[in-house]
A and B are shown apart, each in its own frame.
Chain A
Amino acid sequence: MEYVALTVGFIVIMAGLWAIMTRKNIIRIIIGFSIFDTGLHIVMVALAYVKGRTAPILDNTVALDDAVNLIVDPVPQALVLTAIVIGLGVTALMLIFAMKLHREKKTLDIRSFKDLKW
């Protein structure tokens, strides 16, 4: 059961990579990056899973005294929280670049940007 999230994460990562490499529209490439990001987050959270345990929030069902034996690892979850916010900032910046490129050439097709291509 613990393999499901990991496998899904890897599939999502590869789907993102495929989108980045095959799409021609810059906006779609940016969406590919976001999908790649999401896959990485799924993998990170899946790696922190501990068999048969629950979320690291202490309340009536998770007693304070026995928390060590009842919860999953909170550290990667905190890490993923950070990663999501960074991903948002990166996506916003990529969209700005896409807009600047569109102003330059009036198109979003990646094939028409050959200035740095060898």
Chain B
Amino acid sequence: MKNIFIIIIIAAFGVMLYPLFEDFSGNDELSELASFYAQKENVEKVNSANLVTAVVVTYRGLDTLGEVTILFLAAAIIAFSLRKHSVERDLRRNSEIFKTASKVLIPIIMMVGVYIFMNGHLSPGGGFQGGAVLASAVILMLLAFPNIPFNSKLFAYTESISGLVFVGLAAIGALIGSGYLDNAILPLGTFGELLSAGAIPVIYSFVGLKVGAELSNILNEFQSVQSDN
């Protein structure tokens, strides 16, 4: 009986989605807004090869600020609601292969993360993706060496300073540039090179550090409250 209800609800949801499918015919050209972003003179104003990054950090930069705030809020609530209770856990010893391999891999994964967020304005990637890769290195570290002293203060400070630099750079744009989050406060450089697009690589690097530190703190929080029951 209950299963029939569930099937009916899902079928009704499918019927609700069907008109969207029916009306979709594939776009033949860009929308007005997107073609504004893709026009040559507007691309040269921002000078970022990756247009998604241009949208995320400059045109819709305020949304990114809100997004970073939401992530911070989530991390804060998690830290608030998990109370540490230090239970001595009886852990199985990790194998030698796993430990040695993670010693080799952790620095490489961190390097890839830094590469991804520093090249966010040139290639696919950016602060959030790079930060997630950094956090995956921290996961590997926590799994391979569960008893390693985790300096959560350091991560908390990295995170706060990165957030402040992000907001500060955005505010400098409002003071000396043409508006909040204007990226032309630094020289725009040559199109397609690492040091180009003005403040975008700087802002995105700090976003990457902030996201990486935040996610690492969340993971450490989760790991420290684990128990064996």
Query: CA–CA, A55 to B9, complex, Å?
Result: 37
- Give the number of chain B interface residues (Cβ < 8 Å): 57
Contact B24 A17 (CB under 8 A): no
A21: which B residues are within 8 A, CB to CB? 6, 9-10
Contact B71 A85 (CB under 8 A): yes
Tell me how far the C-beta of B1 lies from the nearest C-beta in chain A, rounded to whole angstroms.
Answer: 14
Residues in A5-25 with C-beta less than 8 Å from chain B: 6-7, 10, 13-14, 17-18, 21-22
Which partner residue on chain B sits nearest A59 by CB separation? B49
Contact A73 B70 (CB under 8 A): no
- Give the number of chain A interface residues (Cβ < 8 Å): 48
B222: which A residues are within 8 A, CB to CB? 95
Contact A78 B74 (CB under 8 A): no
B77: which A residues are within 8 A, CB to CB? 93, 96
A residues apposed to B, CB below 8 Å: 2-3, 6-7, 10, 13-14, 17-18, 21-22, 47-51, 55-59, 64-65, 67-69, 71-75, 77-78, 81-82, 84-86, 88-90, 92-93, 95-96, 99-100, 106
Closest 7 CB pairs of A and B: A89-B74, A56-B51, A2-B26, A78-B55, A74-B51, A73-B34, A67-B38
